[in-house]
Amino acid sequence: MIYNTYELKKDAFLNETRTAIGRIDDETEAIVEIDDLWDQRFMELLWQYRFKDLSKETFLDALKKQTDSLNSTYNQLYEEELKKTDLSFDIKFKKNLHSVIVFDTISNDTVFPFANHDRILKFGEDFEESEGYNVSQARWQSDYTRQEDGIEKTFEFMVRTKDRMNISQWKRIVLGRMAALLAGSILLLVFVVGLFYYSIKNLIKQKKVADVKTDFINNITHELKTPLATLSIASKSLKKKEILDSPKAFESTLGILDRQNDRLQKLIDQVMTNSLGSEDLVLHKEQVLDHIYLTNLIDDFALSVQSKDLNIARAIETAEVMLRIDTFMFTTALFNILENAIKYGKEKVTLTISTRLKNNHYEIVIGDNGIGIAQKDIHTVFDKFYRVASGNVHNVKGLGLGLYYTKQVIDAHQGAIEIESELGQGSKFIITIPVN
């Protein structure tokens, strides 16, 4: 559409210019007089060529000299008239003589051209033919009679001329006339591209939400598997004679059942409220001794893992430290890290869990020997629904909520979490929380 409009504007512009130039050439009396004078001298030269044996070369040479003598006056008058018009751009104009033929009863005599590309400048400023546009072309046929020594001699001839014009920066002028259309087209294009981008973005977002919902439905059982597996093992342990005969072991197993039952109930609440940010989480803090809390947590986790060869090396701070935390949320946060180590670990999983008190902050470091995380993914693993893919597919199940929830819980405790990792070299999670 824009190209067609451009062509129409271009044709209209050229036609307007042709009309203006045509009026100057046809309606300016002084210019018409010069043109008539040239025609008169031209016919006299042609009569001499026809009846006085004037050679073609001499005829053309005389014709060019005649043009040179009149052209400066013509150009001056043309410029003066051009300034009187509404045209606000520079125009070069010329009249070319393309052919002259003298008719004879025996055969026609082509006085000019010598070749198809030959032409003679009649009036105007000369410029390359390829740089101009046609204004008009004329073919006029006439006869000329003159008496010589009392004898009237007549001959008939035909002349073909072409008028051409050259307009500097005509493209800029045409595009200037199309400015409103171009601006509107660009705005429309930007709007369409923006609308397309917005639609694609929404489509991707909707697809992502749909995929997350599908993953949630498919994997919720997997996410609840850890506490259920622990409950199953603990309940089976209660049937063993050696557990029943040992009050201490029996009490320990009941403790595991209570903790995992409580965890299972609250885990459902966590899934339902996973959209909450750290500022929205309501913490129910309680005071716990670090070595008791972490020992129970590690034992519960080790008991829940049966599918892989797991080795846990622990180095808990020797001095007793009183932590003030929401035990359920903080346990879930640490479990998410530990479970990821199993999910993305090797066949033989080695975990190192160490703690220390540093500058009124309690630091927990969890390291693994798993597949590691690429540097480009480290800053996004805590994003909601984000999951690191192996190749082009996710080869482990999950909702992409674990590490997101972990960070929100730690942030809610005014703590911080960092990752150190390399592909193939395992990962290290460093958690710090303030100690009051």
pLDDT of residue 194: 92
Choose among 365, 283, 358: nearest CA to 321.
358
138-160 average pLDDT score: 85
Per-residue pLDDT of 35-87, as tens digits, reads 888 888 888 888 888 888 788 888 888 888 888 888 888 888 888 888 787 77
Cα dihedral 250, 251, 252, 258 sign:
positive
pLDDT of residue 387: 58
Beta strand 109-112 with 91-103: parallel, antiparallel or unpaired?
antiparallel
Residue range of the domain that includes 27: 2-177
* Residues 31 and 142 placed together within one structural domain of the fold: yes
pLDDT of residue 353: 93
* Residues 394 and 429 placed together within one structural domain of the fold: yes
Q: Rounded to the nearest 5°, which phi and psi values hold at 337?
A: -70, -45
Do the domain assignments include residue 291?
A: yes
User: Would you state the structure tokens that stand for residue 340, as one six-digit string?
Assistant: 């990821």
Calculate the average pLDDT of the chain.
81
* Residues 67 and 125 placed together within one structural domain of the fold: yes
Q: pLDDT band for 366, please (50, 70, 90 cuts).
A: very high
Q: In the chain, pLDDT over 90 holds for what percent of residues?
A: 15
Choose among 297, 300, 372, 299: nearest CA to 340.
372
Flag whether pLDDT at 395 surpasses 60. no
The CATH number given to whatever domain includes residue 267 is 3.30.565.10
* Residues 339 and 208 placed together within one structural domain of the fold: yes
* Residues 311 and 223 placed together within one structural domain of the fold: yes
Task: Tell me the sheet residues that pair with 161.
Answer: 97, 138
Cα dihedral 69, 70, 71, 72 sign:
positive
* Residues 12 and 87 placed together within one structural domain of the fold: yes
User: Would you state the structure tokens that stand for residue 326, as one six-digit string?
Assistant: 């929401």
307-329 average pLDDT score: 87
End-to-end CA distance of the chain: 73
* Residues 146 and 246 placed together within one structural domain of the fold: no
Instruction: Report d(CA 436, CA 432) in Å as an integer.
Output: 13
Q: How many domains does the chain have?
A: 2
Which among 110, 144, 177 is the end of a domain? Answer: 177
9-32 average pLDDT score: 79
For residue 392, how many other CB atoms are within 10 A of its CB?
Answer: 5
Flag whether pLDDT at 261 surpasses 70. yes
Do the domain assignments include residue 157?
A: yes
Do the domain assignments include residue 390?
A: yes
Q: In the chain, pLDDT over 70 holds for what percent of residues?
A: 86
Instruction: Report d(CA 32, CA 243) in Å as an integer.
Output: 127
Choose among 101, 129, 104: nearest CA to 117.
129
The answer to which of 241-245, 283-287, 413-417 has the lowest mean pLDDT is 241-245
Residue 262, SS3 per DSSP:
helix
Q: pLDDT band for 393, please (50, 70, 90 cuts).
A: very low
* Residues 163 and 293 placed together within one structural domain of the fold: no
Do the domain assignments include residue 42?
A: yes
Per-residue pLDDT of 74-123, as tens digits, reads 888 888 888 787 776 778 888 888 888 888 767 788 888 866 677 888 88
Do the domain assignments include residue 191?
A: no
pLDDT of residue 220: 59
User: Would you state the structure tokens that stand for residue 232, as one six-digit string?
Assistant: 């199953």
pTM for the model: 0.44
Do the domain assignments include residue 186?
A: no
* Residues 153 and 283 placed together within one structural domain of the fold: no
* Residues 108 and 239 placed together within one structural domain of the fold: no
pLDDT of residue 394: 43
* Residues 173 and 206 placed together within one structural domain of the fold: no
296-309 average pLDDT score: 82
Work out the angle between the directed axes of helices 402-412 and 327-343 (0-180°, nearest 10): 150
Q: Considering only the C-alpha atoms of the chain, give the largest distance between any 2 of them, rounded to a whole number of Å.
A: 159
240-259 average pLDDT score: 83
Residue 177: is it exposed, middle or buried by C-beta count within 10 angstroms (0-12/13-18/19+)?
middle
Do the domain assignments include residue 182?
A: no
The residue that leads in pLDDT, 269 or 195, is 195
Do the domain assignments include residue 189?
A: no
* Residues 269 and 137 placed together within one structural domain of the fold: no
